Structure 1
Amino acid sequence: MNVLFVDDEPQVLRALERMLDAADVEWEAEFANDATEALEMLANEDFDAIITDMRMPGMDGAELLHEVSKLYPHIVRIVLSGQANKEAVLRAVQPMHQYLSKPCDAETLKSTISRACAMRDTLNSESLRKTITNLPGLPSIPSVYAELNAAIQSEDFALTDVGRIIEKDMAMSAKILQLVNSAAFGMGKQVHSPGQAACMLGVDVIKALVLTTGVFTEFVDDSRSEFSLETLMTHSLNVANFAKQIARAEGMAGGDVNDAYTAGMLHDVGKLILATSDTEAYSRILQTAASNHTSLWEAEHEFLNTDHAAVGAYLLNLWGLPQSIIEVVSLHHRPEQAEEKSLSVLSVVWAANEVANGADDQELSEYLATIECEGKIASWRDLCLSQEE
């Protein structure tokens, strides 16, 4: 793996080089003194990631990352910067994947870069990796997008209300969790709840995200497509609410209850990525699954050699979301592959998804028996279905 560091201060680059040598990283690091030199190096060598300062003379970090996203869409793009004004950070929101603050210790830098690049092997398609790596955001359901727009432009809007709106949309939820869990806004701790994230980011940032940065966009329906965002969102909300109720009923900790809701909302985000990346191709996959009476993820493997679970986990990992949520998204069709063999957020979301999809007791019992929860099927189903009434 080859990583390019860009900073206009030579002493910073020398310190980075010494730190990386001492940390014995498993990748090659090269260094550029400004954006112009970085672009020249990118034109002549293959890089997997670029780590840039924000404030530089001439072309700054945000402009550099915009250019890199256009020319080299497969490259992981990370900001490593000290004091940066809010306007500059918001300009970087679209092209960056993650944001780290100076000073940054070796372990944080090493783990962030390694983790951001770690899941590339789960996607065999280079074109699909490029598409996902270059996504600035995902489209939102029109009714929720309109509701959010109306809320932030009202005179008496409250951040708690905005948070509740964002929690109803997987695209907004994913993006706002990416931002709040970066160092760009100085939160200093991991946040797992989109509603909490909205309150922490504040009025000005939320308004900018909706009105100026272009990361929140409205889904444009294609009448020729088999894909329905309304259907996906209804299912995702049901799974989120079902998972939250099961987690509460089982006495899980408050953080796990919140994770169950968030992971339930995001578990199928890979479907949205695939459907919006190539609408025609995904329509063929949906048609194949329906005509062959097979599961959608099996049809996805037939066409793509991967599935929406891996695609969704890849993007959320790239964006730096909490690992507990990424694991659920990645394994929500294969919970038996998890190391933990007991009741967990993953098993709760899996059960909620299966109930929402109309699975019978036999389909539920095999896995639940492995975590000693087979006897809970009837009560969980009743609890979930009572939420729909």
Structure 2
Amino acid sequence: MKTRILFVDDEPNVLSALRRMFHDMRGTWEMDFAVDGRTGLAMMAEQPYDVVVADMRMPGMDGAMFLRETQIHNPGAIRIVLSGHSDRDMILETVRPAHQFLRKPCQPDELKAVMARCLALREVFLDERVKNVVARLDSLPAVPRLYAALLDVLAQEEPSMQAVAGLIAQDVGMAAGVLKLVNSAFFGLRDHVSSPARAVNLLGLEVVKALVLGIGLFGRFDKDAFRDFDLEKLWSHCLGTARLAREIAVLEDASSDVREYCYIAGLLHDVGKLIMATNFPDLYRQVIAAAQAGEGTILDMEHRFFGASHAEVGAYLLGLWGVTDEVVRAVYLHHEPGRDRHAGFSPLLAVHAANRLEHELVVVSQDFAINPLDDLYLTASGLTPQRLDTWRDACRQLLAGEDVA
């Protein structure tokens, strides 16, 4: 079946250029073109699209408004802004409804690559409900105390950039949000940013304030609505895994970039659990209950009840949001690294090991089975039992030092 794509732009010349630009894709793409948002919505009402590409500044219904409507009426669509305007306030308006933001003029290969990357992970889903919910998401909830602390810092007369960056770098939802924005084409960066702290510094305090206080990119997790889901435990495990993955990268003398990839991949590796639990609370309660009853691991029960695991769900969202491939691959395969074509040290290897070691060294509950290490993959990557013991000892010392502190 062909991929269905809708292009929306109020400039006929732009639409004509897009037709010519992607003429060679007619064999795999079914493309429609709309001159304004209302026409696009009418076309969408007749049949859904896989990808929607919209200009930002259009009369009547601008790109942000159109994409917000798309979220409602065509929730499974990948939403891309393609615009020549760089007004900061307008960019911020599209942060939530758009998955990615590309500048005009955009090279055909760049747009093709963005769409192909987003569409690839979508194929793993058997359940349309899950696919549509993930694609519809425009923000993630934050740990209440970290969110409250961030509000307190931002309320100060001269907020500390270091304090703001430190808080955001600890939280799964807030870290993912700033990475989504800073890696958009609006900033024109040559390389992907994977450090939440660097992202905050690049965005600046005024933009962070706008994200938090203006458009509400970060929301406080509602404990009352999700009583059976302990966000604090998930946050603690994710943060611990991030720190252990970075420590492993240090032991392997990895570059500073790889260390940051290891950290952010560790922090985000279980973001899919947050998505599943907050969007399908009743079904995820069944996952937890079945795992507690000894019917299998959380991963096994997710596949049983959802047809997909938290690894796939999290990787899909991060891929949609433009997070770098190194991190997305580590999140996607952190339980099944042997499915990766490449052995050797990588963020995937570091997160796979760190996730297991954190569960092993920090036993929060005896009720859940722990996913095993992939010994064949570790061996293929050159990791000997002695080297793994070195990692384990270093991670134990790191956790002990944090406990003392």
Say whether the fold is shared (TM-score over 0.5): yes
Return 5+ residue gaps in structure 2 as ranges. Answer: 362-369, 401-405
Mapping 1:88-99, distance limit 5 Å: 88-99=90-101
Please show how residues 15-30 of structure 1 align to structure 2 within 5 Å: 15-22=17-24, 26-30=28-32
User: What amino acid is aligned across from residue 394 of structure 2 in structure 1?
Assistant: L
How many percent identity over aligned positions? 39
Q: Choose which of 384, 392, 399 in structure 2 pairs with 1:381.
A: 392
| TM-score w.r.t. length of structure 2 | 0.92
Superposition deviation, residue 85 in structure 1: 1.7
Distance 1:46 1:274 in 2: 24
- Residues in 1 aligned to 2:155 and 2:190: alpha-carbon distance in whole angstroms: 29
Q: Distance in 2 between matches of 1:136 and 1:265?
A: 19
User: Which residue matches 2:114?
Assistant: 112
Structure 1 residue 319: Cα displacement = 1.0
Question: Is the CA contact (8 Å cut-off) linking 1:23 and 1:106 kept in structure 2?
Answer: no
Give the aligned partner of residue 367 of structure 2: none
Q: Distance in 2 between matches of 1:345 and 1:165?
A: 23
8 A Cα contact 2:96 2:217, kept in partner: yes
The letter of the residue matching 2:131 is R
Match in the other structure for 1:372: 382
What residue identity is the alignment partner of 1:229?
A: L
Computed over aligned residues only, the root mean square deviation of the Cα atoms, in angstroms, reads: 1.7
SS of the residue corresponding to residue 47 of structure 1 reads coil
Aligned to 1:335: 337
In the superposition, relative to structure 1, how do residues 30 and 24 fare at CA in structure 2: closer, same or farther (>3 Å)? closer
- Aligned ranges 1:1-389 → 2 under 5 Å: 1-22=3-24, 26-222=28-224, 225-292=227-294, 294-358=296-360, 363=373, 365-374=375-384, 375-389=386-400
Output the TM-score relative to the length of structure 1.
Answer: 0.96
- Larger mean Cα displacement after TM superposition, 219-228 or 245-254: 219-228
Between stretches 101-110 and 216-225, larger displacement belongs to 216-225
Instruction: Give SS of 1:160's match.
Output: helix
Residue type of the alignment partner of 1:108: E
Shift of residue 23, structure 1, vs aligned partner: 6.1
Q: Distance in 2 between matches of 1:23 and 1:364?
A: 40
Q: CA deviation at 1:24?
A: 6.3
Structure 1 unpaired stretches of 5+: none
Aligned counterparts of 1:76 and 1:364: Cα–Cα separation in 2: 33
Q: How many Å separate the matches in 2 of 1:224 and 1:162?
A: 27
Contact residue 54 and residue 84 of structure 1 kept, 8 A: no
Partners of 2:226 and 2:181 lie apart in 1 by 34
| Aligned counterparts of 1:6 and 1:300: Cα–Cα separation in 2 | 37
1:46 CA displacement: 2.7
- The CA deviation string for residues 241-292 of structure 1, in whole angstroms up to 9 with x for no partner, is 0011110011111110110001000011100000111112111101110111
Q: Work out whether residues 49 and 74 of structure 2, in 8 Å CA contact, stay in contact via their aligned partners in 1.
A: no
Letter in 1 for 2:4: N
Gap change, CA 1:349 and 1:18, over 3 Å in 2: same
Counterpart Cα distance in 2 of 1:243 and 1:237: 10
Shift of 1:164: 1.3
Q: CA distance change for structure 1 residues 71 and 383 in 2, over 3 Å: closer, same or farther?
A: same
Q: Hey, what's the Cα distance between the residues in 2 that align with 1:130 and 1:252?
A: 38
C-alpha separation in 2, matches of 1:25 and 1:246: 46
